[in-house]
């Protein structure tokens, strides 16, 4: 399997970025969804810290992935429909944009409530803003709303790839999965 993308398939690095990030993001979504109900105590503290650390890791991965995308070819779309291809491009770009909104609003919320974040006990990232209840409220609203917009897009994205696989019977999923798509 090629390291870089070709016009007909994603390469090893893009495939890893895609699937490793998808797993981390969906796991972090689940943590975020349930962690608010946890009782105060060490478990709640641990899960909140894990959620924030994974969110910061996602920011780092987005930057690396965007850089990799910039120096790579993007495989040609397999659909013949101009409109669907435009829509697919729009959804793919939106993922990067909305993810940045989700992560930075989470970081701002956490900063406004509690200061710097200790990432996996390895290093700290500074607070983005001073402690401030008003900013905290706004950032929390943006975080909670943008993450549901994001997850709706993921739903559309998954349905679209299943449509390609089962109805159009093309290589869309195969060329993003590991191994050769030929």
Residue 131 binds ligand HEM, judged by CB under 6 A: no
Q: What is the DSSP-derived secondary structure letter of residue 166?
A: I
How far apart (Å, rounded) are the C-alpha atoms in residues 53 and 9?
Answer: 32
Going by C-alpha positions, the residue among 149, 110, 102 that lies closest to residue 128 is 110
Rounded Cα distance between 134 and 56, Å, is 23
Half-sphere exposure of 158 (CA within 13 A, CB side): 8
Q: Among 144, 163, 170, 181, which residue sits at the site for ligand HEM (rule: CB under 6 A)?
A: 144
Residues 27, 54 contacting (CB under 8 angstroms) = yes
DSSP classification of residue 61 = H
Regarding 163 and contact with ligand HEM (CB under 6 A), the answer is no
Determine if 44 is a binding residue for ligand HEM (CB under 6 A): no
- Encoding tokens for residue 123? 């290093």
With CB under 6 A as the contact rule, the residue among 62, 107, 136, 139 that binds ligand HEM is 107
Question: 29 or 129, CB closer to ligand HEM?
Answer: 29
Task: Please identify, using beta-carbon distances, which residue of 92 and 137 lies nearer to ligand HEM.
Answer: 92
Burial class (CB in 10 A: 0-12, 13-18, 19+), 32: buried
Stretch that binds ligand HEM, among 27-35, 39-47, 130-138 (CB under 6 A): 27-35
Would you count residue 98 as binding ligand HEM (CB under 6 A)? no
The window from 17-25, 39-47, 130-138 that contacts ligand HEM (CB under 6 A) reads 17-25
Considering only 49, 69, 101, 127, the residue that binds ligand HEM (CB under 6 A) is: 69
Query: Of 151, 110, 148, 144, which is closest to residue 129 (Cα–Cα)?
Result: 110
Query: Using the rule CB under 6 A, which residue among 56, 62, 112, 139 binds ligand HEM?
Result: 56
Query: Using CB under 6 A as the criterion, which residues of the chain lie in contact with ligand HEM when the complex forms?
Result: 14, 18, 22, 25-26, 28-29, 32-33, 35-36, 51-52, 55-56, 58, 69, 75, 77, 88, 92, 95, 102-103, 106-107, 109-110, 117, 143-144, 147, 154, 157-158, 161, 172-173, 175-176
């Amino acid at each position: 399997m090629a390291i870089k993308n070709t016009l007909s398939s994603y390469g090893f690095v893009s495939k890893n970025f895609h699937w490793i990030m998808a797993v981390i993001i969906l796991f972090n979504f689940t943590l975020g969804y349930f962690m608010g109900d946890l009782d105060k105590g060490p478990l709640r503290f641990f899960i909140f810290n894990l959620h924030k650390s994974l969110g910061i890791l996602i920011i780092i991965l987005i930057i690396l992935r965007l850089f990799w995308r910039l120096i790579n070819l993007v495989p040609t779309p397999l659909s013949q429909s101009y409109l669907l291809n435009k829509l697919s491009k729009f959804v793919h770009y939106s993922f990067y944009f909305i993810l940045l909104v989700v992560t930075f609003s989470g970081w701002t919320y956490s900063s406004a409530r509690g200061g710097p974040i200790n990432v996996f006990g390895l290093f700290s990232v500074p607070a983005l803003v001073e402690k401030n209840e008003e900013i905290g409220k706004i950032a929390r609203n943006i975080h909670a709303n943008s993450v549901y917009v994001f997850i709706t897009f993921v739903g559309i994205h998954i349905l679209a790839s299943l449509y390609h696989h089962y109805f159009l019977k093309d290589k869309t999923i195969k060329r993003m999965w590991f191994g050769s798509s030929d």
